[in-house]
Amino acid sequence: MEDKLKSLTEKLYKDGLKKGQNAADELIEKAQKKADKIIEEANARAKLILATAEKEANDKKTKVESELSMSAKQVISKIKNDISTLITLKNVEHASGKAFEDKKFFQDLILSVVNSWSQDGGTNASQMRLETSKELRKFIEKHCQEQLQAGLEITTSEGLEGFRIGPKDNSYKIEFTDKSFISFFNEYLRPLTKEIIFSHPAAGE
C-alpha cells in the first residue's frame, strides 16, 4: 500500500512538473514571439523614418545644388558685368583726355559721329552706331589690356574688400578674401541655401 502511494505521489509530481514546464515553455514561446513582433515593428518604423529622412535630405540636397548652380551663374555674370563696366569706365575716362590730346584720334571720333548721323538722317541720335577706325579699336584694346595689367578692384555692395584682377603667367587671375567672397556670394543665395550653409559653425570653430 505504501509503495503504491509513493508511486502515485511520484507520478503526480512528475506530471505536475511536466505540466509546469510545458506551461513555462509556452509562456516563454509567447513572450519570444511578442518580443520578435515588437522588434520587427520597431525595425519597420525605423526603416520608414530613415527612408523618409533620406528622401527629404536628397530632395533638399537636389534643391540646394540647383540653387547653388543658379547662384554661381548669377555671380559669374555679375563679376563679368562689373569687370566690363569698370574697364569701360576707365577707358572712357582715359579716352576723354586722350581725345583732346591726340588730334587724329579726335578727328576720327568726330567723323564717326558725323557719318553715323548722316546715314541715320539725324532722326535717332540716341541709337546711332559709331564706325570705329582701326586706330580707335587699337586704342580701346590697348587700354583694356593696360587696365588688366595694372590690376582692377571690384568692391561688394557692403563696401568690403572686393575682388582684384591682375596678371599671372601670361593670363589673368581673380583674387579675393574668404570674407569678401562669402559676402558677395551670399547676396545671390536663397533662404534655404543660406540656412544650410551658414547656420552651422564650421568644424574646428
Tell me what pLDDT residue 122 has: 46
Query: Tens digits of per-residue pLDDT, 120-146?
Result: 554 444 444 444 455 555 655 565 555
Chain centroid offset of residue 21 CA: 68
What cell numbers appear for 102 in the block? 591726340
Query: Tens digits of per-residue pLDDT, 64-119?
Result: 888 878 877 787 777 767 666 655 555 555 555 555 555 565 556 555 655 555 55
Residue 58 pLDDT exceeds 50: yes
Long-range contacts of 13-19 (CB under 8 A, 24+ apart): none
What is the rounded CA–CA span in Å between residue 89 and residue 91? 5
